[in-house]
Amino acid sequence: MNIPTNLKHKPVIVVQNYEQVAGSEAGNSEAKGLSIGLAQWNDRGSVEASAKVWRHTGEKWSRQSEEMPLTRVLDLAILICRTNLYMQDAYRYPKYYDPEHTQIDRIGLQGDAMTVEVC
């Protein structure tokens, strides 16, 4: 299924067959494609790139397709990687974390640092 190019998000780089590679939902995912392109929220004269997960209902492209700025996608990737690293040793704690020390890491990013912690 081809990702549409006539909507507000303008794809530049695409993964057309994401449904076939979508993790545990491979072959049966409503997420049909991924793209990096020009954000739908760009104002006139502004060009911001975004990532988009394209969802399809079976009849039409879903309004629940997600679009995020690339910086947010990278922040989520950092969070996922840091969580994965933490969970490798979490078995050492009865509750899988230390209730006295819930902060896992503080990662410096543009603007401030991202505090990663167990809630």
Are 34 and 28 a contacting pair, CB within 8 Å?
no
Asked, for residue 105, whether it belongs to a domain, the answer is yes
- Do 51 and 97 sit in the same domain of this protein? no
- Do 58 and 91 sit in the same domain of this protein? no
Asked, for residue 2, whether it belongs to a domain, the answer is no
pTM for this prediction? 0.78
Q: Using one digit for the tens of pLDDT, what is the confidence trace for 41-66? A: 877 777 889 999 999 988 998 888 89
By residue range, what is the domain housing residue 113?
Answer: 71-117
pLDDT tier, 89 (very low <50, low <70, confident <90, very high otherwise): very high
- Do 78 and 45 sit in the same domain of this protein? no
pLDDT tier, 80 (very low <50, low <70, confident <90, very high otherwise): very high
Residue (of 5, 12, 33, 4) closest to 21 by Cα position: 33
- Do 29 and 64 sit in the same domain of this protein? yes
Asked, for residue 1, whether it belongs to a domain, the answer is no
